[in-house]
Amino acid sequence: MDVDQKLAIGKEKKATGDESFRSGDYKGALRAYHEAGLYLNGLDKSLLPALAGGAPGPSEDKPGAPQPQTEADELLEKIWTNMAACHLKGGNYNRVIELADKALKKNENNSKAKYRKAKAYAAQGYTEKAIGIFEELLKQDPNATTMKKELEDIKAKQAATEKKGLSKFKGMYNRPAAEGKSKAAEENVEEIKSPGVAASS
């Protein structure tokens, strides 16, 4: 099977996954996305420029030079971002973060991948990490009402959690003093008893 065929099948599988996702069949979507990834993930980057009708440029021959994003890269980025959405629906938050990171390696400006990663962090209780990502997203798009709402909700939950945590410690500083007195009283009792014990032995 040549590169063109693999790319075509990868696109078909992705389209199937998109359709399954829209219909709410997240397991079916994950299966289709996974299959699409199998066809696209192994494509040799050195062969892909030929698909666009060009030969590799001189910068691509240098080791460490940034590789231009290929069509397969773009598809994989979207597939991993969509898979993250499926796992977010299923509550598999570690997988969401893992897939979002894979998508962000292909395109560090992928706001959907960042958003899903932030949602997963928030669901796991990593509010500081989630807040950081949402604030970063709002810098890119200050008018994003969904992001603003998410950020407000997380900050409100964080404040409530902190307040609850502080209430547990209320009156805590009075207890050690009382415990200290009772311990001191016990020690005095032992000191009174100890000379008598020493005398009898």
**Residue 172 in domain:** no
Name the residue range of residue 102's domain: 3-47+66-165
| Whole-number pLDDT of residue 183 | 55
The whole-angstrom distance between residue 5's C-alpha and the CA centroid of its chain comes to 33
DSSP string, 12-54: HHHHHHHHHHHTT-HHHHHHHHHHHHHHHHT--TTTGGGGGT-
| Whole-number pLDDT of residue 53 | 47
**What's the burial of 138, exposed, middle or buried (CB within 10 Å: 0-12/13-18/19+)?**
middle
Q: Return all residues near 103 (Cβ < 8 A) that are at least 6 apart.
A: 76, 77, 78, 80, 81, 84, 110, 113
| Whole-number pLDDT of residue 131 | 95
The series of mean pLDDT values per 10 residues for the chain, 201 residues long, is: 90 97 97 95 59 46 62 95 98 98 96 97 95 94 91 90 74 54 53 48 43
**Residue 193 in domain:** no
Domain count, the chain: 1
Kindly report whether the global pTM for this prediction surpasses the value 0.85.
no
Other Cβ atoms within 10 Å of 14 Cβ, number: 23
**Residue 19 in domain:** yes
Cα separation, 142 vs 193, in Å, equals 74
Q: 5 is written with which tokens? A: 């065929």
**Residue 37 in domain:** yes
Cα separation, 176 vs 153, in Å, equals 37
CATH code, 92: 1.25.40.10
